[in-house]
Amino acid sequence: MAFSAAGRRIVAVTVTAAMLAAMPAGAYAKEQELPPAPFVPETGAPGDNYTIGPLDALTVFIWRNPELGAQVQVRPDGRITLPLINDMVAVGKTPAKLSDDIRDALSTYISDPIVSVIVNNFSGTFAQQIRIVGAAEKPASVSYRSDMTLLDVMIAVGGLSQFAAGNRAKLIRYNPVTKKQEEFRLRIDSLLKRGDIKANVKLQPGDVIIIPESVF
């Protein structure tokens, strides 16, 4: 049965309307996208104060009393031990805060101690890590660093797996203002396979990247 041009347009509109009606609510809504990250950071500004996490490696130095310092690893329970200090909580503190706490504890034994804490190897707290799950070559949690981008974390996890659907990946981010999670679309295939630098976006501590597998 032949249709006129007008008839074909009516059929097309009807079929499209039926397809949209069959889709779940919100499935065809426009997804949020993040702005592209600058290829080179505009400034060399440091990030927010680093918070010490479990398994971080620290150097504690006490001026004029080096024997009271040590190189220590934060235990899984979040504490460290020094020659005159047992079980001091380190997790959740900045290096400056931990220095102050060690100074206060040592003041019982020496006068006006000057304490420095240096983070040598860091894992960070969970809130400071970026988690990459799904069809990455090596799904992992990656410690956040200042000015980190999507490209940086994809290099860290070895890129996409063979059957990844990179352009259907999602970024889940907690918004502290609204106290809700927000979802953003990522175009990892475009970034890694076609070199579309506009698909590279800036990340934040605590971001979760979910990469699905292709259905084909």
pLDDT tens digit string along 137-172?
Answer: 999 999 888 889 999 999 999 999 999 999 999 999
- Can you read off the two tokens belonging to residue 184? 């953003």
What does 33-84 look like in DSSP terms, one character per residue?
BPPBPPSS-S-----SPP---TT-EEEEEETT-GGG-EEEE--TTSEEEETT
Identify the pLDDT of residue 42.
52
Pairing verdict, β 129-134 and 140-143: antiparallel
Minimal CA–CA distance to 117: which of 86, 96, 103? 96
- Rounded to an integer, the average pLDDT of 93-103 is 96
Pairing verdict, β 57-62 and 79-82: unpaired
Q: What is the pTM of this model?
A: 0.69
Class of residue 107 by CB neighbours under 10 A (exposed 0-12, middle 13-18, buried 19+): exposed
Q: How many helices (H) and strands (E) does the chain have?
A: 4, 10
Identify the pLDDT of residue 153.
97
Q: State the chain's mean pLDDT as an integer.
A: 84
- Residue 215: pLDDT band by 50, 70, 90 thresholds? confident
13-69 residue pLDDT tens: 343 344 334 434 333 334 688 888 875 555 555 556 788 999 999 999 999 999 999
Identify the pLDDT of residue 152.
95
Identify the pLDDT of residue 39.
59
Tell me what percent of the residues of the chain surpass a pLDDT of 90. 68
Identify the pLDDT of residue 37.
85
